[in-house]
Amino acid sequence: MKAAWDWHLPVETGSQQQEIVEFACDLGFDTLIVRDPSEVMARRGAELGVRIVAIVYARPSDAFAGSHPECLQRLLPAEDEIARAGHEGTPANFQLLSHRWFSIVQDGATLCFEHEASRSFLKERVSRALEIADGVAFDGFGFRNHYACFCDRCTDVRTSMAAGQPEAHEPDLLARMSETSLVAVSDVLYEHAKAIQRDAVVTNHVWPPFYPNEYYGNRLRLDFCTQTISWFYPPHWSLERVEFETAEMKRLEDVKRNTFVPFIGLYSDPYLVRSPDRVRAEFEVAARYADGHVVLCNLETPRHHPEIAAVVKDALGT
């Protein structure tokens, strides 16, 4: 899978929807991952041999959040305060100023994956996506605080685990329960997608990171598991670190569960875009370990930077 993951280029009109598919194809991508793909995109993708994949988010709709508040992830009270302070006490560009790759607590409501109502809601999203798209890509399937949910159901599950394993330590129990929840929802949605469309592409991006085990992606049931080797924001890893992380993810790959795909995040802003030489080196690392598989997010960058577009086309063999 050579995929472009995009939510930046305009897709309001039919011509814009065709153009984004054509641009992805021209760069050498065989898959385009977007929000709410249209029938126009699907038709043009079929004509050009580009699979159109719909992003499925782990965020609730306003209606679902209002009617099922118990199905949303719950933070510890102190973490709620951290989230509030992050809005009220910091500048809008705090993440860049503080050189953080990720917020301490992710903004916005997120589904708890232990609730059957949450899983049914996500299944419905998959079903709707596959009415048009060639596949689905799961995004945001993690924890707002990067390690656990503290809703009543999750707390009850951990209490039951602790009763049956009195020798286990609380941090270990919590981490195991959380990781099991992430793996289980992947199983459920993979089977649901394949039941609808056997040849549907089922992929993801491992985000937000899961701090107890940042390499858990090898356990997820998917066709392709995309994992970050280079991120949008500084501080950027050294190329040696990029290569180490890529090699480690490949070493841990379990092809019975999924195929590892390197994810390269690249924004077009002047203070975020990386040099063509650096981007070329990242693609070369991906090529050494991933059998031709790679994801670039997003298409706005090669669109606005022709020198980056040339690097991408060369890396993808076009």
Q: What is the pLDDT of residue 178?
A: 99
Kindly report the CATH class assigned to 2-315: alpha beta
Nearest by Cα to 182 from 152, 221, 145, 223: 221
Nearest by Cα to 215 from 266, 175, 163: 175
pLDDT interval class at 86 (50, 70, 90):
confident
Instruction: Tell me how far apart the alpha carbons of residues 299 and 4 are, in angstroms, rounded to a whole number.
Output: 7
| pLDDT > 90? residue 317 | yes
pLDDT interval class at 229 (50, 70, 90):
very high
Report CA-CA distances (Å) from 70 to 22, 59, 66, 126, 208.
43, 14, 10, 22, 21
Q: What is the pLDDT of residue 318?
A: 72
In the chain the first and final C-alpha atoms are separated, in Å, by 15
| pLDDT > 80? residue 89 | no
Torsion of CA 76, 79, 83, 86, to 10 degrees: 170
Classify residue 113 as exposed, middle or buried by CB count within 10 Å of its CB (0-12, 13-18, 19+): buried
Report, as an integer, the average pLDDT of 98-113.
Answer: 93
- Residue ranges of alpha helices (H) inside 197-293 are 239-252, 276-289
pLDDT interval class at 94 (50, 70, 90):
confident
Report, as an integer, the average pLDDT of 189-216.
Answer: 99
Strands (E), 198-258: 201-204, 224-230
Report, as an integer, the average pLDDT of 193-221.
Answer: 99
Please name the residue that has the structure tokens 């930046």. Answer: 8
CB within 8 A of 76, min separation 6: which ones? 145, 150
pLDDT interval class at 168 (50, 70, 90):
very high
Question: Residues of the chain with pLDDT > 70: what percent?
Answer: 100
Q: What is the pLDDT of residue 98?
A: 87
Report, as an integer, the average pLDDT of 66-92.
Answer: 92
pLDDT interval class at 263 (50, 70, 90):
very high
| pLDDT > 90? residue 211 | yes
State whether residue 63 is helix, strand or coil: helix
pLDDT digits over 22-42, tens only? 999 999 999 999 999 999 999
The rounded mean pLDDT for the chain is 97
Least confident of 84-93, 174-183, 185-194, 287-296: 84-93
Phi, psi angles (nearest 5°) of residue 138: -85, 130
Instruction: Tell me how far apart the alpha carbons of residues 294 and 77 are, in angstroms, rounded to a whole number.
Output: 39
pLDDT interval class at 91 (50, 70, 90):
confident
Nearest by Cα to 37 from 262, 50, 240, 113: 50
Report, as an integer, the average pLDDT of 124-132.
Answer: 99
CB 121 within 8 A of CB 186: no
Within a 10 A sphere around the Cβ of 197, how many other Cβ atoms?
A: 18
Instruction: Tell me how far apart the alpha carbons of residues 204 and 147 are, in angstroms, rounded to a whole number.
Output: 19
| pLDDT > 90? residue 88 | no
**Where do the domains of the chain lie?**
2-315
More confident residue, 256 or 85: 256
Q: What is the pLDDT of residue 95?
A: 81
Q: What is the pLDDT of residue 163?
A: 96
pLDDT interval class at 2 (50, 70, 90):
very high
Q: Buried b / exposed e across 1-36, counting CB within 10 Å, b at 16+? A: bbbbbbeebebeeeeebbbbbebbbebebbbbbbee
Q: What is the pLDDT of residue 127?
A: 99
